[in-house]
Amino acid sequence: MIFTWTILDTWIVATGAACAMACAVLGNFLVLRKISLMGDAISHALLPGIVTAFLITGSRASLPMFIGAACAGILTAWLAEWLRGQGKVDAGASMGIVFTSLFALGIILLSRYADAVDLDVDCVLNGTLETSVIGDTVTWFGRNDIPRVFVVLLTVLTINLGIVTLLYKELKISSFDPQLATTLGINSRFMHYLLMSLTALTTVAAFEAVGPILVIAMLIVPAATAYLLTDRLPVMIGLSLLIAFFAAILGHIGATGLPRLVGLNDSTTTAGMMASATGVIFTIVMLLSPKHGVIARVWRRRSLSHRIVSEDVLGVIYRAEEDDRIATPQLLMQIIGRSGHTIGKTVHRLIRKNLVVSDDQRTMQLTDTGRDAAKLLVRSHRLWEQYLSEHTTVAADHVHSTAERLEHVTDQVLRNKLAVETRSQLDPHGRRIPQE
Amino acid sequence: MHDLIRTITLQDYNTRVVVFGVAALGIACGLVGTFMLLRKRALMGDALSHATFPGICIAFIIFQLAFGTGGKQLPVLLSGATVTGILGIGCVLLIRHSTRIKEDAAMGIVLSVFFGFGTALRGVIQKLPASNSAGLDSFIYGKTASMIASDAWTICIIATLSAAVVLVLYKELKLLCFDDHFARGIGRSVVAMDIVLMGLMTVVTVVGLQAVGLILVIALLIIPPAAARFWTDRLGMTALLSAMIGGFSAVCGALISAVVQDMPSGAIIVLVAAGVFVFSLIFGVKRGVVARAIRRAKAREHLDSDNRTTASVAS
């Protein structure tokens, strides 16, 4: 069956995307400040605030509900901070204590006065994006079918983007270096509570449409994903917005697709699938990110270890040639201390790169290019040995292992500096230091 | 009035089962939670319990599709919960160790994505023909009243086993919580000990799911040990007090919930625990707010009198 896209789908995705982006922009600062779980805590703790507002005003009007939830949100942030600071409770635990207690209070209020508040637990906790875009519409720019939740979330997105743009510098400095921020006259505490208030505001606005779980996912996952892709804050914010947007689209498509896996021709909770979509995007980025991805890391570590073994092999052959000895695989294995398999693969790689020739598979000689490369390595090694024995208290017979490690990370500039420092033609063991 | 006395004196069979079960759960959570708190992993329970939800749903769907009914078999659902719960913890550790993302964000990612996927699966279950998904909600909010004798016995056995593990590995766990570098230095495997601790947490969380729900079971792991810390600096004492506070809150909560109408037991258990926490925060003899204020005042007085002495000597 082909997926049919209607105007309703557009509104669902647009509302989801507005919510996701409103959360993602704040999430960048939560992730950088290492208080990601504050979003989790606040969104759970809003429950009693919302229920209390219902009980007092007896209406589902947005304003009282909003004020009640905002109070609960700020109370959570303040209580958690107070418990940590004054009560000397572990930071994570203080958050956990506050939000579980408030959530429990909310559950009790809900079930005690369930009839009075006419509030569905399921709706409050999971959100019903699909139904919230129908019916409750407003007229805007001459269109009369614009869902109210979309307008609300778009407004929140605009507020969040506006405040982040206006206070960008202050937020940035206080996130990366609170001490510096304080010396510059920026009130870090104020920034913390501002961020918490915005998080509460966004959570409240998103509550009825998408439920807290999507809020938590969108606060944390897009920003964390962007953090794996870049080291620059503006780029990170832009990427997180983009990821949030795509997660909304993917999530809606997934919500229609998932039930078909079990043979149902129906759709499931869009909000839940949007949260799952962020997870999928995160997993892909975590594996494939060019700089901080898992595969890139493994690859870099592998190529570094390849380079070190290759350089060691070249060095051993060079020293053997100095002494008019013949370099054999046995010699390589014995000196480098790696398995025959590793040495064999490395030698093959070096032959392929035309740095080493091996006529009979038993002995190895350096080519001219290979000799030049090996010369630089041995030069680095002996310069380090000479430098260490001249300028440090390390005994001459103990400098080898240190030089063995440093030789792989020494470039020409450093070699020249070492040569100026040592001014010796020979290393501590009396061997000549090769010239470049 | 007669009913009230009947309930409180545990003459009612059902109440007896529930009180017995939640008391064991509270004790086990308090005990395990102590080490989680001291290892600074208090919120790991949060990530774990949320991650169990998709497992419950997947187990339900598989059973429903394979056998038509019986998807609400408790052991089946709890096995599913255990699998995704462990998977969730594995993901947190993987993200933290293999990327530059910090532990708080890693936990946030796992809990929201896993739970989000769970709600999507629940949406599917609600649409399944001839399935009754109502029971699944009791895993989110908890339903102590549905506890039967065999559940209570299961929890009791789990509690005894965790207590036994904690007793046997007490020295190792202590080392892990206070000085893991030293533990590594003397050749103990920190990873293995962490796995034991996480395993204990997984087991108590999974059995607690049904009783108090996945959001509030976190509270039973965090609040009792945090409250116990205000009374003592000794680990053994903290663990004992924490277990006692956990058991006490659970019993009180279950009784209140049995007596008063429309009182969800999980939530009331957490609120009783929170009450004990606030009491400890104020009156705790070791680190409580009042005790510390008195100590500070005494120190100031001492300092002042020293200063006066110095001043009079100088003049």
Q: Quick: pLDDT tens for B214-270.
A: 877 889 999 999 999 999 989 999 999 999 999 999 999 888 888 887 778 888 899
List of chain B residues whose C-beta atoms are within 8 Å of the C-beta of residue A269: 119-120, 122-123
If you average pLDDT over residues A367-389, what whole number do you get? Answer: 88
Please give the share of chain B, as a percent, with pLDDT higher than 70. 90
If you average pLDDT over residues B5-27, what whole number do you get? Answer: 80
Distance (Å) from the C-alpha of residue A40 to the closest C-alpha of chain B? 7
What's phi and psi for A139, nearest 5 deg? -100, 130
What is the ipTM score, two decimals? 0.88
- Res. A1 pLDDT band, cuts 50 70 90: very low
Contact B39, B98 (CB under 8 A): no
Q: What is the pLDDT of residues A187-199, one digit of tens each?
A: 888 888 888 888 8
pLDDT at B278: 94
Minimum mean pLDDT range among A217-226, B150-159, B285-294? B150-159
Tokens of A359: 């006529």
More confident residue, B312 or A432: A432
Place of tokens 């036994």: B164
- Return the closest-CA partner of residue B218 out of B257, B292, B252, B269: B269
* Average pLDDT of chain A, as a whole number: 84
CB–CB contact A34 B102 (8 Å): yes
Mean pLDDT highest for which of A49-58, A222-231, A350-359? A222-231
Q: What is the pLDDT of residues A22-36, one digit of tens each?
A: 999 999 999 998 888
Residue type, B236: G
Distance (Å) from the C-alpha of residue A290 to the closest C-alpha of chain B? 12
Q: What is the pLDDT of residues A248-273, one digit of tens each?
A: 999 988 888 777 776 666 677 788 88
Q: Report the C-alpha gap between B276 and B281 in whole angstroms.
A: 8
Kind and range of the H or E element at A28?
helix A7-32
More confident residue, B28 or A423: B28
Q: What is the pLDDT of residues A379-411, one digit of tens each?
A: 989 888 888 888 888 777 788 888 888 888 888
Q: How many CB atoms lie within 10 A of CB B103?
A: 21
In the predicted structure, residue A83 carries a pLDDT above the cut 60: yes
B271 touches chain A (CB under 8 A): yes
**Close Cβ partners of A154 (under 8 Å, ≥ 6 residues apart):** A18
CB–CB contact B119 A271 (8 Å): yes
pLDDT at A278: 94
Contact B84, A212 (CB under 8 A): no
- Res. A124 pLDDT band, cuts 50 70 90: low
Q: List, as ranges, residues 179-238 from B with C-beta within 8 Å of A.
A: 215-216, 218-219, 222-223, 225-226, 229
Q: Which residue of B has its CA nearest to A102?
A: B271
User: What 3-state DSSP class applies to A432?
Assistant: strand
pLDDT at A137: 67
Q: What is the pLDDT of residues A25-79, one digit of tens each?
A: 999 999 998 888 888 888 888 888 888 887 887 766 667 777 888 888 888 888 9
pLDDT at A286: 92
Nearest to A258 among B41, B102, B124 (CB): B124
Nearest to B112 among A220, A254, A264 (CB): A220
Q: Which residue of A has its CA nearest to B137?
A: A122
Tokens of B247: 């058991």
Residue type, B201: M
In the predicted structure, residue A10 carries a pLDDT above the cut 80: yes
More confident residue, A118 or A177: A177
Q: Report the C-alpha gap between B229 and B226 in whole angstroms.
A: 5
If you average pLDDT over residues B273-280, what whole number do you get? Answer: 95
Q: How many CB atoms lie within 10 A of CB A109?
A: 21
Q: How many CB atoms lie within 10 A of CB A137?
A: 17
Q: Which residue of A has its CA nearest to B257?
A: A108
A280: left (phi over 0), alpha (psi -120 to 50) or beta: alpha
In the predicted structure, residue A244 carries a pLDDT above the cut 90: yes
Q: Report the C-alpha gap between B166 and B160 in whole angstroms.
A: 10
pLDDT at A168: 92
pLDDT at A2: 46
Nearest to A269 among B120, B216, B218 (CB): B120
Q: List, as ranges, residues 235-254 from A with C-beta within 8 Å of B.
A: 254
* Number of A–B residue contacts, CB under 8 Å: 215
Count CA atoms closer than 13 A to B169's CA, side-chain side: 22
If you average pLDDT over residues B93-99, what whole number do you get? Answer: 89
- Strand blocks (E) in A160-301: none
In the predicted structure, residue A241 carries a pLDDT above the cut 90: yes
> What is the DSSP secondary-structure string of A338-392?
--HHHHHHHHHHHHHTTSEE-SSSS-BEE-HHHHHHHHHHHHHHHHHHHHHHHHS
Question: In angstroms, how far is the first alpha carbon of chain B from the final one?
Answer: 74
pLDDT at A247: 93
**If you ran DSSP here, which 8-state letter would residue B284 be given?**
-
Please report how the helices A294-322 and A340-352 are oriented relative to each other, as an axis angle in degrees rounded to 10: 80
List of chain A residues whose C-beta atoms are within 8 Å of the C-beta of residue B128: 262, 264
